[in-house]
Amino acid sequence: MASAPVGRALRFLDPGVIARLGTMELKARTVVEGFLSGLHRSPYKGFSVEFAEYRQYLPGDDLNTIDWKVYARTDRHYVKKFEEETNLECHLLLDQSASMSYRGAAPMSKLEYGSVLAASLAFLMNRQRDATGFIAFDEQIRFRLPAAARPGHLHALLLALERVQTGQRSNVGRPLHQLAEALVKRSLIVLISDLLDDPEPVIKGLRHLKFRGSDVVVFQVLDPNELTFPFKTAARFTDVETAEEIVADPSRARTDYLRELAGLTGRYDRELRGAGIDYVQLDTSQPLDFALLAYLSARARRK
């Protein structure tokens, strides 16, 4: 009987619904509230935004700090964390390079989807009183909003996301190194990109962040056409970053294309996970709940 409310909640995470909403703030609020509503009625019951503010009871803890309401729901003892234990400094990095403008079979382009994801994460971080920063980049950093948790900061961040425009060629590695050198405290870094770049410098940049003590979550956003290559008739394919064009017969190119894509994504998965970095591939036609769950998991481990 629980599936009906879950279904209604997930409908508000559907990209087709979100794309028709107005402001970025409305989109983010709708996604996060739908997500949290679904969590409370799903198999993940008990693992929600509130649990980033708790830790499991340990011998020696003051019994007065046990939250008995949480115990009643989970049959486990949790204690409320202190304020200084809960707050994080988080940085959202959004790739705005030209390849992110692609939209094939999805309701939103990769850049639009990534912007809504970043806005939803910022909204969720704000609920948890985390200091949140934002960087938009292509071959260089184009916009940076330092991390803060003061009143009005979320609005400024969402407004910046609403104004993000498609940029030029990508160079994902460069801004990663720049951020790693600029960080003065351990942080949680969230990268949102299609990662359609030379993987070697990208992986080195992410490892640099990890080496500096930050936890890193990588969301690779890809259009369903990029994931399946569904084209059937001969067509001209254009590189949106270089304007280079080729004419190809999809029936002949599909096998090679899918092999190359699998090699690229497989390398990211293998090497990033090997470095202790969370790697999540997202289909831009699918709801955003999986991405938010991945973030909450990373945040919980950060504690």
pLDDT (0 to 100) of residue 301: 66
Instruction: Tell me how far apart the alpha carbons of residues 290 and 219 are, in angstroms, rounded to a whole number.
Output: 11
Strand, helix or coil for residue 52? helix
What are the φ and ψ backbone dihedral angles of 243, each rounded to 5 degrees?
Answer: 70, 10
pLDDT (0 to 100) of residue 284: 92
Q: Confidence class of residue 138 from pLDDT cuts 50, 70 and 90? A: very high
Instruction: Tell me how far apart the alpha carbons of residues 261 and 194 are, in angstroms, rounded to a whole number.
Output: 12
* Model pTM score: 0.79
pLDDT (0 to 100) of residue 294: 79
* Overall average pLDDT of the 220-231 stretch: 90
Q: What is the CA radius of gyration of the chain?
A: 20
Has residue 50 got a pLDDT over 50?
Answer: no
* Overall average pLDDT of the 65-83 stretch: 63
Place of tokens 């599909």: 254
pLDDT (0 to 100) of residue 20: 84
Helices (H) and strands (E) in the chain, counts: 12, 10
Q: 13 Cβ partners below 8 Å, 6+ apart?
A: 31, 34, 35, 38, 287, 288, 289
Instruction: Tell me how far apart the alpha carbons of residues 135 and 145 are, in angstroms, rounded to a whole number.
Output: 6
pLDDT (0 to 100) of residue 36: 77
pLDDT (0 to 100) of residue 73: 65
Domains (range + CATH), the chain: 3-83 (no CATH), 87-302 (3.40.50.410)
Q: Confidence class of residue 74 from pLDDT cuts 50, 70 and 90? A: low
Q: 239 Cβ partners below 8 Å, 6+ apart?
A: 245
Write the pLDDT tens digit of every residue in 98-129: 999 998 888 899 999 999 999 999 998 888 88
Instruction: Tell me how far apart the alpha carbons of residues 220 and 131 are, in angstroms, rounded to a whole number.
Output: 24
> Among 10-14, 134-138, 223-227, 271-275, whose mean pLDDT is lowest?
10-14
Has residue 40 got a pLDDT over 60?
Answer: no
> Among 110-124, 179-193, 282-296, whose mean pLDDT is lowest?
282-296
What share of the chain has pLDDT > 70, as a percent?
72
